[in-house]
Structure 1
């Protein structure tokens, strides 16, 4: 049986918009809210076999963190996304592979001509 990577401490640093997971062996992973949002394990992001590129999330914040049993966290983001359950193993995977996953994400954005910046919605003027 594989041992689950359960952190000894979970700390959300609101000002910096990052989640810090610390483990008994001394390892710690710092994951930005943006990274967690674009890597959400939800069907909305993972798609059904075809991942959906998340754009415009550089300013996203986590507004709620809820434990789900003893196996996961439910993260709710200020853009309304709250359907991903982040298992302890998935969070450890994100921490261990953060550099590669982030570079892959940036490459996908560049390939598709998309941005991390939120889109501006033009205000209609009432003449």
Structure 2
């Protein structure tokens, strides 16, 4: 996840499409992906979403209409989007964005499966912060 190896393709173009809610990325190896904002938000690499270890991921719901309000470059290796729900702690490295693009179909299926297992759907409201959402801290 962290560093970049020299074989990681780098983006040659990054376009935020607000109307279709897609982040379009063209990579130096010729690959091009359109990543839905919802996918980026649900798979944000931040601790807030991923938890602090395997199995501690926080299931994200109600993100279908989330927007990217800004996209800040971080060095030459990542971007940091600010989402319309206030989430802004995810650093998306180029290799992670590439991974999301390549694995997009499987990631959607995994997300749908996690929702189903939790008896939720994509449009369910997130639990209020401070409630049972952070149960593993007690």
* Cα-Cα RMSD: 1.4
CA apart distance, 1:118: 4.8
* Bigger Cα Rg: 1
Q: In the alignment, which residue of structure 1 is the partner of 2:43?
A: 39
Q: In the alignment, which residue of structure 2 is the partner of 1:124?
A: none
Query: For the residues of structure 1 that align with 2:45 and 2:9, how far apart are their CA atoms?
Result: 17
In structure 1, the gaps of 5 or more residues are: 120-127
Question: Which contiguous aligned blocks of 4+ residues in structure 1 show a shift greater than 4 angstroms?
Answer: none
Query: For the residues of structure 1 that align with 2:93 and 2:22, how far apart are their CA atoms?
Result: 17
**1:25 alignment partner, one of 29, 36, 45:** 29
CA apart distance, 1:27: 1.3
Q: In the alignment, which residue of structure 1 is the partner of 2:133?
A: none
CA contact (8 A) 1:42 1:83 kept: yes
Q: In the alignment, which residue of structure 1 is the partner of 2:134?
A: none
Q: In the alignment, which residue of structure 2 is the partner of 1:8?
A: 12
Q: In the alignment, which residue of structure 2 is the partner of 1:48?
A: 52
User: Structure 1 residue 113 and structure 2 residue 119: aligned?
Assistant: yes
In structure 2, the gaps of 5 or more residues are: 126-138
Alignment deviations for residues 5-48 of structure 1 (CA, whole Å, 9 cap, x no partner)? 21100001110010000123321011000000000000000001
CA contact (8 A) 2:9 2:29 kept: no
Aligned pairs for 1:53-64 within 5 A: 53-64=59-70
